[in-house]
Amino acid sequence: QKEVEQNSGPLSVPEGAIASLNCTYSDRVSQSFFWYRQYSGKSPELIMSIYSNGDKEDGRFTAQLNKASQYVSLLIRDSQPSDSATYLCAVKGNNFNKFYFGSGTKLNVKP
């Protein structure tokens, strides 16, 4: 079983819609969760961090964490074509500064 799992997609949504990206993780003691956006040929860019159960909003982005279900999600409201990218879910392990990445979900926002 992988540490972090994501649906690889592609997830296609029309411009202006809400995109919902999901991630599950296996280690119950994980405390830190991150979403990165990666455009093709570029490096990952941190867009959200979440540490507590519930929702965290930053502009058009909302991260949701449910530790009991070992589930973290990212909602993108009013999706724009510029949001088209691969979104990586990352979970920080308890030891040795190790981060576990999911395989990424490719998002296509169609004009």
Partner 1 sequence: DTEVTQTPKHLVMGMTNKKSLKCEQHMGHRAMYWYKQKAKKPPELMFVYSYEKLSINESVPSRFSPECPNSSLLNLHLHALQPEDSALYLCASSLGQGDQPQHFGDGTRLSIL
For 82, phi then psi, to 5°, come to -70, -10
Residue 33 or 73 having the CB closest to partner 1: 33
Residue 30 or 73 having the CB closest to partner 1: 30
Asked if residue 2 lies in contact with residue 104, where contact means CB atoms within 8 angstroms, the answer is no
Who contacts 21 (Cβ-Cβ below 8 Å, separation ≥6)?
6, 11, 35, 73, 74, 75, 76, 87, 89, 105, 107
Q: Give the nearest distance from C-beta 16 to partner 1 in angstroms.
A: 27
Q: Give the nearest distance from C-beta 53 to partner 1 in angstroms.
A: 14
Residue 25 or 36 having the CB closest to partner 1: 36
Residue 15 or 55 having the CB closest to partner 1: 55
Point out which residues bind partner 1 (CB under 8 A). Answer: 31-32, 34, 36, 41-46, 49, 51, 88, 90, 92, 96-99, 101-104
CB atoms inside a 10 Å sphere around CB 39 = 12
